[in-house]
Amino acid sequence: MWFKKTRDELVKELNVNLLTGLTKDEASNRLKINGYNKIEMGNKTSFIKLLLSQFKDVLIYVLLAAAIITFFIHEYADTIIILLVVLLNAIIGVVQEYKAEKAVEALQKMTSPKTLVKRDGEIIEINSEQVVVGDYVILDAGRFIPADIRLIESANLQIEESALTGESLPSDKDASKTFQDDNTPLGDLANMAFMSTIVTYGRGEGLVVATGMDTEIGKIAKILDEDNDTMTPLQKRLDHLGKSLGFIAIGICVLIFFISILQKRDLFEMFLTAISLAVAAIPEGLAAIVAIVLALGVTRMSKKNAIVKKLPAVETLGSVNIICSDKTGTLTQNKMTVTQIYTFNKLKSIPNEPSDLSISKEEAELIKSLVLCSDATYSNGVSTGDPTEVALIVLGDKYNINKSNLNNDYKRLSEFPFDSERKLMSTLNVESGKYRVHTKGAIDSLIKKANSIIIDGIITPLTNEIIDNLYSMSNKMSDDALRVLAIAYKDLDNIIAPEEMEKDLTIIGIVGMIDPPRLEVKDSINQAISAGITPIMITGDHKNTAFAIAKELGIAQSIDQCITGAELDALTDEELSNIINQFKVFARVSPEHKVKIVKAFKAQGNIVSMTGDGVNDAPSLKYADIGVAMGITGTDVAKGASDMILVDDNFSTIVYAVEEGRNIYDNIKKTIIFLLTCNLGEVITILMAVILKWPIPLIATQILWINLITDSTPAIALGIDTGDNSVMSEKPRNPKDSFFSHGAGTRAIIGGVLIGGLTLFAFYMGLSKHGYDFTSNIILKEKDPALVYARTMSFVVLAASQLFFSLTMRNDKKTIFKIGLFTNMYLIASIILGLFLQYIVISVPFFANAFGVHNLGFNDWIMVLLLSLIPLTLNELLKLILNKISKKK
């Protein structure tokens, strides 16, 4: 705990001479012991490893097993088709996921390339990788901090740490301070400087106390490098489904074996039948279709400024019920903005884009003095310097009080720079042929230097009553989480020394500023809450500041819903998990706290999304179910650790992404239920034929054609169906819900029974037409005209009924006429294409011979199409009946 140690203790423990710094030999020895000052790379995922990872799926294992079996029974066409499906699934996954983790690499890039150090009594510039523990480092404005440093000298030193701590403003540093509390937040350690932050003002000197992976940034890199690849809800469901289908396929084979023994059938024939049934039980195209649906969803979302890095993350968004958001730069604009100015007894609110540019003389003088007493620059949206001063210059621009014009008209002659002890800054400028001092700073410091105030254009002596009035207004602004700055002046006939500037000042007024919320965020938060999602603010800022923003946005209503990092440290993981749902705002937190918070929410069964843009957000982005990084203000570290990137940095895009995620899940569920309904129909057809001792209505090749070609296009069309407008009025989906919840399983069984029964009926009609006696148990040859005709009838009815049934799968409650028959033209096109391909297969001799079918006559087509429409019609009638019953209730 280097922040606890005094300067003498520090020097002794690090064994360094402050006059000379380390010797070159000593630095070389320490470099050998501790290694280079850089972030170590984790193991990168190779292309081959990434490709192989796509095969770690139970459904894929089942498909590979089917491919092996079809190969050994010389059904090579089936083998090739199945392997192509497996390969297609892998390619889709690799294309979407071949974006290697960039987080640790980005951390490397953030380290400063050059550093000023004192060695052998000389100040030299070295590569930051060669900095070692004990090095005497010199810091000045604009320089990156090369390692974690305990400051030993500081002069008006301010360091921008927002990427690490989340604080909006640069932190004031004071080398003379020590901190005895082990749990002091990083943002409060005024005697420390941390790797990859940047000096914005002043100068400092210090000793390196940690390098490379031992720095605070290094700790983040270690967290990011940990393997935290957990399965998403969709992956878990598909894994469970794959296992279930695998067991079902095995069970069917065992069942067929026993039936063949009981019926004394030919074992090899029944083995082929068992394969047909196993093929029928498994939707071979499912894995590839789900990947395609997710990929299309990703493409659609990218057009709405949400880039998803990993396919399953799209669906997970639909389950999110907690959105943990970093405050600075995500909920807020990450730029200080003056929102109020106060001259005695006159408070003026400053809108973002003022429509009324009229201001009083005192207000104009207040803005003019603030702008002249600032060193920052701002032009065409580009700023340099302290964020507080940038806010003052922007304020001037709003009221046409331009800094560059003021600098030309009121030339600065000298200044008394800001000092953290005085908490003031003063400039001396030319004014109407004479001179004027402009002084800004903390109100308590300024009042001590003033003896008068402007009231209605008249310089009035400063009384206790006036001072109380100023403090009252200052406190009111502070209660609203505004940063308060006072401004004063005095006129002179002669130029004076800087030390004489801050005496007998005349107060003009005060201003209040804040990092304001993003304009569109409040509506997005309200929409999220109405969708059953709880927004959570996590920030490095102070408790009162965080609560003020949270209250304004509607995230929190009471200060009791806020907790600080220090309070989190007093709780065990289990204790925090038990009370985590009480809190909406987490203030003064470190990167480790953020991970702890996300883990606590997840421990309560929540699906957690974490949004952020800074380095400090990266670990929690990785641990969350969905990590969301900002695309514009986000660091490469945050982007590398995230699952999704917001191109426009707009919190509202997250809400859109959640809505899209919900619709994508619904579409995937529709696709899966549709495919399983079709497969159930196939299983029922074959199994019932076996039990009834009929010839087998369908062969494996025909089933594969339907599963991979006929069913696939409507399944994909269902996967890209237009979203349900009411999806965001529902609560988040329970991640434990299966695909068959809420009646989906029942609908699949009803549909499967209808499709299977009608297919079997078509087969019966086909054989009956050729005079087949079902009681004779005559074994028909494969080329027998009666069997070929009957199989053609069942083949076409099975395919067409599944195609038509896809229409009713669009919505489980609304009829196709209510949602619009032609509102999904992709589905209509896929049905037409499917029927056309079915016609080609039975009409073109080459294909007809391959599939064991032949052409049908006109009357046959009328019959099969009428039979095929029955499942669709009955299901739509069932919807109407159920809707009427629900309305009566």
Predicted local confidence at residue 442, as pLDDT: 92
**pLDDT tens digits, one per residue of 800-814:** 999 999 999 998 888
Predicted local confidence at residue 100, as pLDDT: 33
CA distances from 676 to 229, 266, 281, 669, 721 (A): 29, 30, 8, 10, 18
* φ, ψ for residue 492, nearest 5 deg: -135, 155
Give the amino acid at 314: V
- Report CA 456 to chain centroid distance, whole Å: 53
Put residue 275 in one of left, alpha, beta given phi > 0 → left and psi -120 to 50 → alpha: alpha
Higher per-residue confidence, 842 vs 712: 842
Direct distance between the N- and C-terminal alpha carbons of the chain, in angstroms, rounded to an integer: 68
Structure tokens at 121: 């009594």
For residue 294, give the nearest of 97, 109, 460 by alpha carbon. 97
Cβ contact 213:133 at 8 Å: no
Residue located via tokens 């005559």: 778
Positive or negative, the Cα torsion across 383, 384, 387, 389?
negative
% of residues, the chain, pLDDT over 90: 39
Q: Which residues contact 264 (CB under 8 A, 6 or more apart)?
A: none
Structure tokens at 55: 């095969």
Q: Report the alpha-carbon distance of residue 846 to residue 808 in Å, rounded.
A: 34
Mapping DSSP onto H, E and C, the string for 773-793 reads: CCCCCCCCCCCCHHHHHHHHH
Task: Write the DSSP symbol of residue 353.
Answer: S
Grouping H, G, I as helix, E, B as strand and the rest as coil, residue 769 is helix
Give the amino acid at 753: V
- 144: which strand partners? 198
Beta pairing, strands 626-630 & 644-646? parallel
**pLDDT tens digits, one per residue of 142-174:** 788 989 999 999 988 888 887 677 666 788 899
Q: Report the alpha-carbon distance of residue 15 to residue 134 in Å, rounded.
A: 7
- 87-105: average pLDDT: 55
Burial class (CB in 10 A: 0-12, 13-18, 19+), 502: buried
Cβ contact 193:151 at 8 Å: yes
Mapping DSSP onto H, E and C, the string for 156-190 reads: EEEEECHHHHCCCCCEECCCCCCCCCCCCCHHHCC
- 207: which strand partners? 136, 150
Cβ contact 187:163 at 8 Å: no
Q: Indicate if the pLDDT at residue 122 is higher than 50.
A: yes
Q: Confidence class of residue 701 from pLDDT cuts 50, 70 and 90? A: confident
Residue located via tokens 């290697």: 100
Predicted local confidence at residue 877, as pLDDT: 92
Structure tokens at 190: 């005024």
Cα torsion for 509, 514, 517, 519, to the nearest 10°?
30
Give the amino acid at 674: F
**pLDDT tens digits, one per residue of 1-21:** 899 888 889 999 999 999 999
Higher per-residue confidence, 70 vs 722: 722
Positive or negative, the Cα torsion across 574, 577, 582, 585?
positive
**pLDDT tens digits, one per residue of 369-425:** 999 999 888 888 888 788 899 999 999 999 999 999 999 999 999 999 888 778 899
Q: Indicate if the pLDDT at residue 791 is higher than 50.
A: yes
Q: Indicate if the pLDDT at residue 39 is higher than 60.
A: yes
Rg from Cα positions in the chain: 36
CA distances from 524 to 305, 331, 527, 612 (A): 15, 10, 5, 16
pTM of the model: 0.70
Cα torsion for 736, 739, 744, 750, to the nearest 10°?
-140
- Residues annotated as catalytic (active site), given as ranges: 326
% of residues, the chain, pLDDT over 70: 91
Q: Report the alpha-carbon distance of residue 282 to residue 277 in Å, rounded.
A: 9
For residue 523, give the nearest of 632, 635, 656 by alpha carbon. 656
User: Count of CB atoms within 10 A of residue 124's CB?
Assistant: 12
Residue located via tokens 């030309």: 408
Question: If you average pLDDT over every residue of the chain, what do you get?
Answer: 85
Least confident of 158-162, 413-417, 604-608, 824-828: 158-162
- 421-444: average pLDDT: 93
Least confident of 44-48, 360-364, 631-635, 661-665: 44-48
Cα torsion for 655, 660, 664, 665, to the nearest 10°?
20
Q: Indicate if the pLDDT at residue 316 is higher than 90.
A: no
Predicted local confidence at residue 464, as pLDDT: 95
- 438: which strand partners? 427, 489
DSSP string of 294-341, one letter each residue: HHHHHHHHHTTTEEESSTHHHHHHTT--EEEEEIIIIIB-SS-EEEEE
Predicted local confidence at residue 621, as pLDDT: 85
Q: Indicate if the pLDDT at residue 315 is higher than 50.
A: yes
Grouping H, G, I as helix, E, B as strand and the rest as coil, residue 72 is helix
Q: Confidence class of residue 583 from pLDDT cuts 50, 70 and 90? A: very high
* φ, ψ for residue 733, nearest 5 deg: -70, 140
Least confident of 230-244, 353-367, 425-439: 230-244
Grouping H, G, I as helix, E, B as strand and the rest as coil, residue 441 is strand
Q: Confidence class of residue 446 from pLDDT cuts 50, 70 and 90? A: very high
- Report CA 493 to chain centroid distance, whole Å: 61
Exposure string of 859-873, with b = 16+ CB inside 10 Å and e = fewer, is: ebbebbeebbebbbe
Predicted local confidence at residue 435, as pLDDT: 96
Q: How many CA atoms lie within 13 A of 855 on its CB side?
A: 7
Q: Report the alpha-carbon distance of residue 646 to residue 223 in Å, rounded.
A: 23
Q: Report the alpha-carbon distance of residue 412 to residue 371 in Å, rounded.
A: 12
Beta pairing, strands 562-564 & 483-492? unpaired
Cβ contact 207:16 at 8 Å: yes
Q: Report the alpha-carbon distance of residue 290 to residue 671 in Å, rounded.
A: 8
Structure tokens at 731: 């609560």
